[in-house]
Amino acid sequence: MSTAKIFEIFQSLQGEGPYVGLRQVFVRFFGCHMHCFWCDTPESIGDTTGQYKDMTVAQVFAKIKALSKDCHSVSLTGGEPLMQVDFMAQLIPLLKKAKIPVYLETSGVLYQALGQVIGGIDIVAMDIKLPSSTGQRAFWKEHEQFLTLARKHKKHVFVKAVISSQTSRKDIVCAVKLLKQIDSQLLFILQPNTFDLEHGVVEKCDHFQRLCFESLPNTRVMPQMHKFMKIQ
C-alpha cells in the first residue's frame, strides 16, 4: 500500500476564511513546491527539515476517524497536499464512505493533480499567489485552470490572497481581472500577512478591498484567527 509523507495530524479550529471557528481534523502533508516569503508552516515545506512520518492510507484514515468526533470536516493541508495526489486519491474514497466532508487547502497551482481528485472534494480553499507577495513568478495561467476546474465540478470554492507590505496594486488588479472573468460573485479574501501587521498591511488591505469592490463585491478582509488565538 502506498504511503504519504505526513508532517502532522491534529484536531483544531479552522482559522482562515468563511469556515473560521469550525472544528476540523487537519492532515498536514509534508513538502511544498512553493517558497512563499511569509510561509507560516515553513517546517512543512521540506527545505530545511525532513521531519515527517511515512504513513499508509489505513494509518491516516484511522487517525482521522479517531479525531473526527464533533468535527465539521477534514482539512487536507500542507505544505501542498496535491503533491501527493496518488495518496489522496486512495484516502478520499474512505472519507466519503465515512461521510467525512473533505476540505482542500491548496496553493491553487497544480490543476492536473486537482483533476485526479476533484470529484471527492467538497470545499476548495484556494490561494492566489501574487508574485509581489510571494517573491516567486506569477501563476496566473495555472490559477485560471485550477479555478475553472473547481467551478466546473460545482465545488464550493473561495480564493485567498495574502497581502504583505510588498504586495503591489498591479498584482491585485491582475487577480481581480482573472477572478471576475470566472465568476464576479466569488468570495475573495484579502488576508493580511500576520508577520507584517506592523507595517501598514491592514491599511493596504482596506485600500485594496475598495479597489476590488468595483469588480468583486464579495471581497472580505480576514486575518488568520488561529494566530490571534495562539492555537495550532
Any idea of the CA torsion for 191, 19, 155, 158, to the nearest 10 degrees?
Answer: -10
Using the minimum distance from each CB to ligand SF4, give the nearer residue, 24 or 191. 191
Using the minimum distance from each CB to ligand SF4, give the nearer residue, 38 or 65. 38
| 114 binding ligand SF4? (CB under 6 A) | no
Handedness of CA 178, 184, 187, 191 (dihedral sign): positive
> Could you report how far apart the first and last alpha carbons of the chain are, in Å?
30
Using the minimum distance from each CB to ligand SF4, give the nearer residue, 74 or 162. 162
Interface pick for ligand SF4 out of 17, 46, 79, 223 (rule CB under 6 A): 79
Rounded Cα distance between 193 and 170, Å, is 18
Helices (H), the chain: 57-67, 85-97, 111-117, 131-134, 140-152, 169-182, 201-213, 225-228
Closest distance to ligand SF4 from the beta carbon of 193 (Å): 10
x/- track of binding to ligand SF4 for residues 11-40 (CB under 6 A)? ---------------------x-xxx--x-
| Chain residues in the site for ligand SF4 (CB under 6 A) | 32, 34-36, 39, 41, 45, 78-80, 107
